Structures are given as C-alpha cells and as structure tokens.
Amino acid sequence: MGGATAPWNLGRSHERRRGMSNYLKLMAILVALATAALGLAGSAMAEETIKIGVVGPRTGTAAATGAAFDEGIALALDKINGSGGVLGKKVEVVFEDTAGDPAKAASGIEKLITKDNVVMVLGESHSSAALAEIEVANRNKTPFIIAEAWHDDITKKNYPYVFRAGPCNSGVVNDAIMGFVKHYGFKRVAIFAENTDWGKGIKDLAETGLKAAGVEFTTIDTDTKSQDHYTELNKVKKFKPDLILAFVYGFGVHYLIAQAGEVGIVPSQALLLEGAGPPSLWPEFWKTVGQYGNLELFVSRMHEKVMLTPVAKEFDAAYQKKFGKPPTDYKSRSIYDVILIAADGIKRAGSTDSEKLTKALENSDIVVCSGQVKFGKEKGSYAYHQWQPPMLIVQWQDKKQVVVYPMDAKTGDLKK
Amino acid sequence: MEDLLLYLTNGVFMGSTYALVALGVTLIVGIMGVINFAHGELYVLAGYFSALCSQALGFDPLSSMVVAVVLVFFFGLVIERILIRPTYGQEMYSLIITFILYIILQNAYLVVFGPYPNKPPNWVNGASDILGLFSYSNQRLASFAAAAAVIAVFMVVMRKTWFGRVIRSVAMDREMASLLGVNPERVNMLSFGLGCVLAACAGVILTPVFPVTPTVGVGISLTAFVVMILGGLGSLTGCIVGGLLLGIVENLGVAYISSGYKSLFGFLILILVLFFRPTGLFGQKRL
C-alpha cells in the first residue's frame, strides 16, 4: 500500500505544489499588472498635459529656423510651466518637422491633430508649407496660429480656425520696404525672387508698389534650389540698380550676397535688402558672405537695442541666461510670442474646446515681445485673423546692426 | 558678346564640377554595377572634414583637403567591406543599402554639424577682371583649375596605367579578368574607394564656393545621375562631355529663356538626348 500510497501522495503533493506554484505565478502576474496599471495611471495623472503642436523646418534649406523655434519653445515652456501651466496642467509641445515641403507639412499637421491630439497648432516658416497646413487645420476645426509664413493668402482665405501673429507680405512690403525705398529715394530697383509661394507673392506686391511709386525696376526669378546665380546677377548688373530686393530665403540668400559681391554689384554699385530677415542673422552668415556682408540690409522684427515691450526685455534676459549668448535669429522670439498667445487663449477660453479656443483667440489682447496682439476681425481681406508686428530695416555696418527704418526706431544713418 | 562669354565661362565652371561628381558615380556603376545613392553624402562629408581641419585644427587649405580626401577614402573602404560586398550580384540590395546609408548620413550630419552651412576659408579672395569683359571670382577660377587637374589625372590613370587597365578589364569582362589573375573583389574595393575619392575631391574643391549643409548631397547625387545617364552609363568620357553640356545648357537657358526653371533645362536636355540616343551620348560600358 505504502508503495501505492507514496506515488499517489507524491503525485498529489506534486500537483498541489504545481497548483500552488501556478497560483503564485498567477498572483505575481496580477500583482505586477496591477502595479504597472497603477503606475501608468499614476504617471498619466502626474504627467497630464495640454498638448500643443508646432510645425516648422528642422531640415531643408531653412533648417536653422527649426533650431530657433526649439529655443523659443524651451523659453516659452519655462515661462508658462514655471508659473503653474495653464488650466492647472503643464503645457507640452509636440514638434513636427515639415522641411518646407507642402506634402510633408500636410501629413505632419494631420498627424499632430489626429494622432497626437494636440489642442492647437502653431508655427511654420514656409508659405508653401503653411498653405497646405491651413487646409488640414481648418478641415479638422483645429485652431492654427502661424508665426512666420508671410504669404497673404494664408489669412486671405478667411478660414475661421487660421490666425497669423506674424508678418504678412502686404504688411512687410507696403509698410516697411516701400516706405524705405521712398524715404531714401532709390531710383532703380532689381527684384530677385525665388520661385516659391512666398517669393512669387512678395515679388508681385513689390512690383505693384514700385510701379505706383514710379520707381524703375527689373525682376529676376530664380530657382529656390540653385546655389549659383552668376548668370542672373550679370543681368542685374547690366540694369544698373541702386537697390536689390532679394526675396530668397534660407542659406540661398548667403550665396546670392557673396556672388553679388564677386561680380562687383554689392555694395559698390547697389545696396542689397534681404526681404526675409533671419538668414542675415544666422551664425554662418559672415563666414559665407565674407566682406560682401558689410552694408547689407535686412528686414527684421528684432534688434539687439530695440526692445518694443517689457516682454521683449524679459525674453532677452531669459534667453541669455539659458543659452549663454544674446538672441540672434528673431524666429526664436516669433514662436515664443505665439506660444504665449496660445496659452493666453486657452486660459481665457477656460477649456481646450476648439470653438471656445477660436473665440478666445479672436478676442486676444495680449502684449508679447513684438507688441500688443489684436487680430483683425473683419472678413474679406488678408487682414482677417492677422496681426502684423512692426518690422525694422536693419543694415550691417562693420558687423554692427543699425536700424535705418522706420525713422522713429532708427539707431543710425544709412550708409551707401 | 561679353555676356555670352560670361555665360559660357560659368557654364564650363559648373560643368566641370558636375563632371567631377559624376565620374565617381560612373566608375562605381561601370565596374561594380552598384548605384551609390550616398555619393552626394560622401561629397558633403569631405566638405565638412576640410572645414573642420582648417577651422578647428588650423591646417592650411591643401593639407585640409588631403586629410579630408584620405579620410573619405578609408570611410569608403569600410562601407564597401561592410555594406556593399555582401550584396554583390544583387543590384537591388545594394541600391537599398546605399539609399538607407544616404538617409542615415544626412541625419547624422544634421545632429553632428547642425543645420548651418559650413565651409573652409577661400584659398584666394576677391575677383578678377576677365579680359576687361566681366568680373569672376578668384576662388571659382582656382576651383575650376583644381577640378580640371583632378579630372585630367584621373583620366590618365584610367587610360595609361596598369591600375587603370586592370579596372577596365574587370569592367569589360569580369570572368576573363579573373581567369587572367585579377582579383575582382580587390578591384571592386579599390574602385569603390576611388569613386569615393572623386566625390571627396569634388567636395573639398567646391566647398569654398558652395558651402555644405546636411541636405546638399541630394542635389549633388541627382546631378551626378543626370550627367551619368546623359553621357552614357559607365562612360567616363561621356561623363565629362555630359557634365560640360549640362553646365553650359543650364547657364544659357537661365540667360536667354528663364532663370526660374534652371533645373528644368537639365532634364529637358536629358530627355532629348535619350529620345534620339537611348544609350546616352557615349554608349555604355566603354571605360
């Protein structure tokens, strides 16, 4: 019997042990799962944020703008989250690289809205990309504040969810560039425009403005991807301009300035006004253009000595503290401004509901680095949902920035 | 007249740079049957190396260029040994591998060097008055001379030396060359390395004129492919003629038709050549 019992007992205790073992394993798994679930829930609760999407180029010819955006985002988040966030939650930014490519831009913003579930999208710096993005934002009824894409059509389409808290072509040309041309009495102007939405749009406006002012001009269209402009510059030289309006964005304008110097146009025959701004402030500017950068002019919404508001001073101090250098590319400030506008909109809406947010944004009245933001409310033109910051025309004089226009912000005389 | 002379001068300068870049691609295609999508990225790498050597290490321009070319040569050997060699005989695999390499290198440049353009100092500054007709950059003239010299040396090596004959024999008949004692694997390795050297030479010669950025390699590779097809797959002479033709046609097109569609002229001439002569200007596989 014993022999018969032993195997039975043995088997029973073995089964029991196996049963116990399975039970313990099951318990262990359940405990682990529960702990993980609790942990996840805990971390989700701890990290619950309001997500804002940012679109802009981190690659491509204007990849430097992505770097400037990153700096501005970091400073804006420090400011907003450092003072308790918005609606009791921290603000989180999800960045999508658009590389200035409309197809990539459209899929990028679609991903931000549908997959990342952002409550609002901000940014962009290429008009071609922005024109694709506004269609997606408007279709998805997601508020979208453009920071630095200038084409008039972006707000001229009068989409209810699209805003622009930054320069537009009409504002830049009519207020800044034409004012500058008329004030300093330029007689012959050569327009050098890249074949992009921004380039074509701003070129058309400049041609209209010059024609109305009775200034003689010639226009050269250039391929945005071209690095060599010798042949085109020869045509410009023969026209004998006293001013070149260079509507070429990104590193391309560096090559243009250097080559315009090499063929003997700038600065001896004509001054060159770069219509986009930040490329003249990028770190490699002087290395690429050499001595031909002297007396070059550029459009800017920032100057190291012109602080338009207390927020600009605050930004400047925070920037220097965080990055150990003064801010150069003004697009770090542009994105900083739109993030402040977005946070203010969410606060006033008291919600992340897109309809309430849109309404709140329409009624924005907030001071940012570039001035006091109030969006246009009247439909029918580019001025709808548009806020144009004041633009400066700055000249490099012995590697120092001198504001030469508008006259009330002037820090020195124009040198020819 | 002086206008036409300027357009032609600039066309020949740009054409010589196109030819130099395309020669490396053609060499690798002709001998190994490998289309190197990352060719432009090797150009960029050499540009970065020469800029680093002159800026960070204080080398003179010539030493910077030599160091950059040597480094890219060894980098090319490593690529061939690790990535290309296992794909021999499987053209699609090598195509995919080099395509992935191009993406990885481009992103690596962005992380390591940042998005800004980078260039070594000019070898010479200022501009010269050419025959009293127009002003032309001294650096461009120097780069043109260097590109022409590299192309001439390369052609002499390929046509007049034992090494060139060995390479051409493998390109013509790999099996027969192997029976005659040529080690095709070693020839492949050296050919790939030499192709990389040509990309690197183009990079160091042109970076003072056209600074490198992480993404500039795409355009370089595309132009090289257009020139290679224009000249005839595998034809070195075709590369030189194709490069010069492309440079001149682009410049005349910009001057007399429209400057907004510069890249279109290259493709137009390519379509025309392929329509009338589908094998390209100089046929194929005649090294």
> Among residues of chain B, what percentage have pLDDT more than 90?
55
Average pLDDT over residues A254-274: 92
Q: Kindly report the nearest CA distance between residue B90 and chain A, in angstroms.
A: 32
For every residue of A50-92, which 3-state class applies, written as one string?
EEEEEEECCCCCCCHHHHHHHHHHHHHHHHHHHCCCECCEEEE
pLDDT of residue A260: 94
Over residues A19-29, the mean pLDDT reads 54
Of B125, B213, B258, the CB nearest to A221: B258
Chain A residues with beta carbon closer than 8 angstroms to that of B135: 262-264
pLDDT at position B1 over 80: no
Is some CB atom of chain B closer than 8 A to the CB atom of A133? no
Asked if the C-beta of A223 comes within 8 angstroms of chain B's C-beta atoms, the answer is yes
Rounded CA-CA distance A342/A345 in Å is 5
Are A119 and A51 spatial neighbours (Cβ–Cβ below 8 Å)?
yes
Closest CA in chain A for residue B106: A59
- CA gap A299, A282 in Å, rounded: 14
B263 contacts on A by Cβ (under 8 Å)? 223, 225-226
Question: Over chain A, what is the mean pLDDT?
Answer: 88
> Does the structure show a pLDDT above 60 at B4?
yes
Test mutation, A224, A231, A266, A331, chain B, max B CBs within 10 A: A231
**Cα-based angle A179, A180, A186 (whole degrees, multiple of 5):** 115
If we measure between CA atoms, which residue out of A275, A220, A217 comes closest to residue A250? A275
User: Which residues of chain B have a Cβ shorter than 8 Å from any chain A Cβ?
Assistant: 3, 6-7, 10, 14, 110, 114-119, 122, 125, 127, 134-137, 140, 210-211, 213-216, 219, 251, 254-255, 258-263
By C-alpha distance, the chain B residue nearest A220 is B259
**Residue A223 and residue B119: Cβ atoms within 8 Å?**
no
Locate A354 and state its tokens.
Answer: 């897109």
Q: Is A66 on the interface with B (CB under 8 A)?
A: yes
Residue of B7, B211, B214 lying closest to A288 (CB–CB): B211
What is the helix, strand, coil percentage profile of chain A, to 5? 50, 20, 30
Chain A residue with CA closest to B250: the answer is A231
Instruction: Please state the rounded mean pLDDT for residues B163-185.
Output: 82
Q: Are the Cβ atoms of B127 and A59 closer than 8 angstroms?
A: no
Q: How far off is chain A from B115, nearest CA to CA, in Å?
A: 5
Alpha carbons A135 and A124: distance in angstroms, whole number: 14
**pLDDT at residue B237 is higher than 70:** yes
Helices B138-160, B184-206: inter-axial angle, 10-degree rounding: 170
pLDDT at A37 over 70: no
Per-residue pLDDT, A202: 94
Report chain A residues whose CB lies below 8 A from the CB of B127: 262-264
Of A60, A205, A67, nearest in space to A129 by CA: A60
Size of interface A-B (CB pairs under 8 A): 99
Q: How many CB atoms lie within 10 A of CB B219?
A: 15
Q: Which residues contact B116 (CB under 8 A, 6 or more apart)?
A: A64, A251, A282, A283, A284, B213
Confidence at residue A296, expressed as pLDDT on a 0 to 100 scale: 97
Q: How far is A282 from chain B (nearest CA, A)?
A: 8
Classify the complex by whether its ipTM is higher than 0.85, answering yes or no. Answer: no
Mean pLDDT computed over A9-33: 51
Interface contact flag, A284 B214, Cβ < 8 Å: no
CA distance A150 to A203: 12
Determine the pLDDT at residue B171.
78
Q: What is the pLDDT of residue A330?
A: 87
Question: Who wins on pLDDT, B91 or A319?
Answer: A319
B6-47 pLDDT, tens digit per residue, is: 899 999 999 999 999 999 999 998 888 888 999 999 999 999
Q: Does A23 touch chain B if contact means CB atoms closer than 8 Å?
A: no
User: ω into residue B117 within 30 of 0, thus cis?
Assistant: no
Is A64 an 8 Å CB contact of chain B? yes
- How does pLDDT run across B128-163, given as a tens digit for each residue? 888 888 889 999 999 999 999 999 999 999 999 988
pLDDT higher than threshold 80 for residue A10: no
Give the confidence band of A13 by pLDDT, cuts at 50, 70, 90: very low
Taking the C-alpha atoms of residue B27 and residue A228, their distance in angstroms, rounded to an integer, is 27
The pLDDT of residue A337 is 96
Residue of B nearest to A285 (CA): B117
Over pLDDT 70: what percentage of chain A?
Answer: 89
Which residue has better confidence, A39 or B175?
B175
